[in-house]
Structure 1
Amino acid sequence: MACQNQNSEETQPISLFDGKTFNGWEGDTLSTWRIENGELIGGSLTETVPHNEFLCTTKTYDNFILNLKIKLTGDEGFINSGIQFRSIRLDEPPYEMRGYQADFGENYWAGLYDESRRDSTLIAPDSVQVLEWIKINDWNDYTVHAEGRRIRLYVNGHQTVDYTEADESIPQKGLIGLQIHGGGKAEAAFKDITIQEIH
């Protein structure tokens, strides 16, 4: 699916989530994030999520292929999730992040958003085509391939984004974060999270 440059070196994929603990992750694990049945789950179907929340890696990454499964459920309010990468935590507000987001949610399926920086979708797939690939209220395979200044996103084996960052002031290294968006009664679940670093 995602292919390498000839001069790059792949490492073996490693798991970022052991299915049982928050080892290697940090965030609001008291009320927003929990672990059930080998899944990381953020949000609630009975109470509105007050604001964006992110569960983040404690390690930073620059060039990598990230694979995971994501399921977004909910039917009241703004139902949205995503995967932050090459991102940082903000001091104010402390629950927010700045950086790229592989988006996931209605009207934003599998697009590339710039969170708390340019605050806009940088590139998005065809809105009709992507709905043929997305499994609503079910598990979806999501891949983020970040190498150099090029970012490619894939959902269920289909490439949705191929973006090259032209602004050389934009950092190309940072944290990975799992998001549940504020403003909806929604849950975002993640599992089978692996990363393959590229050197």
Structure 2
Amino acid sequence: MKVFPSPRRRLTGHTLALACVLSLALNAAEPGFESIFDGSTLKGWHVSAKTGHSRASGNTSGGAWAVRDGAITGTQDIPGNGGIILTDQEFGDFEVALEMNNDYGPDSGLFLRSTEDGKAWQAMIDYHANGNLMGIYGEGLGGKPSVRNFSFLEKVTEIVPIPAPTPLPVLPSAWPSFWRHGQWNELRARIVGNPPSITTWINGVKMMEWKETELRHPERGRIALQVHGGGDHTREWVRYRHIRVKSIAPDNALTPVERREGWQLLFDGKSHAGWMNSDRSAPRTPVQEGSLNPHRAGHYMLVHTQAWSNFTLSLDFKLSQGCNSGIFIRTSSLTPRPGKDIGFNGIEIALDDTPGAGFHDTGALYDLVKPARNAMKPSGEWNHVEITAAGSSISVNLNGERVTQADLAQFKTAHRRPDGSPHKFDVAYRDHSGSGFIGLQDHGAPCWFKNIKIKPLPSPIP
């Protein structure tokens, strides 16, 4: 078993509070997600009394579950008796997100690929003293894995870090502003493959990433919410709302939801169909294990043959050690201007095997806007990025985190950022072309791109 190390530094209260606000504000617009709770009934859900937490009732009741004020609520129906409520539908590879506002006391959990008797990969919601949020636990799987990077103390506002291969990204002093007890907070989990890779987030900040190496559980199962143990069952409840799921398709394919939402696949995983070098020649490098590699393909970058204006671009990328690459958008012309490379015709989202968060590091609008933080995984691992271009607004989400937000309308002068500091481009970006080619840069080292998808967006209203 392996826990991925995190290259990120711990974040401060101000930054984390901003992450919370962005997370809740953006969740409704996330592409590919479907609601699995209608906010008023338990349609699509059922209670199971087959878990070990239901023994106090002789396994005849799985706890008290109901819908109240637009949320699924649960508590023990008698002391010591709980259970799980599961989706009727089974899922394989997926990401699930929800909002939680539990009382401090009851034990709970978010079960991934659950069976009727509660065997599952669990994202912990042990919301009580000595408990944890979004650690990963093998429920009914021999207690393995059991990984977490903090524990609550007696008060919900106090936590203590636990040494773990995945460091806690939240300073204990920042916890009270990051985690808003008595309010709604967002929890999220993603599970892919079998043995699975599991990632969890709290309020948009990644908490844990785990790679299982043993095949110990089925590749499909239900999403479940748990309640058991702890708290006063007469007045302390767990509460969940805005529950939504995104099925994750096989590589280089669209899910049914993505098709309905208007996503298009730009790379078929098998050929260079729809792609060319930036000098319009055919790429020289073959498709490599379902991915495009622009290195030594024959020119400055691989470009998609169609020009795009307003869109969300979604793709996975992997960098070799020391690699420097980039994703170009709105490349207005494939003819370089005198004395300039073709990159001066577009806008580059930097991809760089570096740990920093500067103007040239991963997630930056190259030499224009720094990312808020470096959320990239180490070289050799796949990353997921979503880039949205809507009029003058450009945003970058990296591995589930909003790292960059820019308004090109503020770039009114060539060679100058809005704060007056210099950049290298002889362009006032408020006047930059709002349309152009998408490109994947070759800058001297191998890099790989797959699952390249785009959703065209309407032009923003001026």
For the aligned pair, the TM-score class normalised by the smaller chain equals: 0.7 to 0.9
1:123 to 366, 369, 390: 369
Q: Which residue of 2 aligns with 1:81?
A: 325
Shift of 1:94: 9.7
Q: Which moved more, 1:34-43 or 1:10-19?
A: 10-19
In proportion to residue count, which structure has more helix?
2
Deviations 1:147-192 (A, max 9, x none): 011000010011111101124321111000011214xxx2110000
Q: Which residue of 2 aligns with 1:187?
A: 446
Matched, 1:198 2:452: no
Letter in 2 for 1:96: I
Deviations 1:54-81 (A, max 9, x none): 0001110000000000001034xxx211
Q: Aligned partners of 2:369, 2:313: CA distance in 1, in Å?
A: 19
| Contact 1:34-1:42 within 8 A present in 2 as well | no
Q: Which residue of 1 aligns with 2:302?
A: 55
| Helix, strand or coil at the partner of 2:272 | coil
Shift of 1:17: 0.3
| Contact 1:67-1:143 within 8 A present in 2 as well | yes
CA 1:164–1:95 in 2, change beyond 3 Å: closer, same or farther?
closer
Letter in 2 for 1:35: V
Gaps of 5+ in 2: 1-25, 31-259, 413-429
CA 1:19–1:61 in 2, change beyond 3 Å: closer, same or farther?
same
Shift of 1:53: 2.0
Q: Number of paired residues?
A: 171
Deviations 1:2-53 (A, max 9, x none): 849xxxxx9511100011111111116454x430111101227xxxx9x972
Q: Which residue of 1 aligns with 2:400?
A: 157
Q: Which structure ranks higher in relative contact order (CA pairs < 8 Å, sequence separation ≥ 6)?
A: 1
Q: Aligned partners of 1:187, 1:135: CA distance in 2, in Å?
A: 16
2:287 to 16, 31, 35: 35
Q: Which residue of 2 aligns with 1:171?
A: 433
1:68-147 equivalences under 5 Å are: 68-75=315-322, 79-87=323-331, 88-91=333-336, 96-97=342-343, 98-105=345-352, 106=354, 107=356, 108-113=361-366, 121-126=367-372, 129-130=373-374, 133-137=375-379, 138-147=381-390
Letter in 1 for 2:293: I
Shift of 1:91: 3.9
Q: Which residue of 2 aligns with 1:7?
A: none
Deviations 1:132-158 (A, max 9, x none): x21112100011100011000010011
| Helix, strand or coil at the partner of 1:55 | strand
Letter in 2 for 1:135: K
Deviations 1:106-129 (A, max 9, x none): 25111002xxxxxxx110124xx3
| Helix, strand or coil at the partner of 2:271 | coil
Q: Which moved more, 1:53-62 or 1:103-112?
A: 103-112
| Contact 2:272-2:283 within 8 A present in 1 as well | no
TM-score, scaled to structure 1: 0.76
Shift of 1:90: 2.4
Letter in 2 for 1:148: G
Larger radius of gyration between Structure 1 and Structure 2: 2
| Contact 2:363-2:371 within 8 A present in 1 as well | yes
Q: Aligned partners of 1:198, 1:174: CA distance in 2, in Å?
A: 14
Gaps of 5+ in 1: 5-9, 114-120
Matched, 1:13 2:263: yes
| Contact 1:60-1:174 within 8 A present in 2 as well | yes
Q: Aligned partners of 2:272, 2:435: CA distance in 1, in Å?
A: 22
CA 1:66–1:30 in 2, change beyond 3 Å: closer, same or farther?
closer
Q: Aligned partners of 1:11, 1:198: CA distance in 2, in Å?
A: 11
TM-score, scaled to structure 2: 0.34
Q: What is the CA RMSD across the aligned residues, in angstroms?
A: 2.6
CA 1:170–1:94 in 2, change beyond 3 Å: closer, same or farther?
closer
Q: Aligned partners of 2:391, 2:341: CA distance in 1, in Å?
A: 28
In proportion to residue count, which structure has more strand?
1
Letter in 1 for 2:364: G
Letter in 1 for 2:325: S
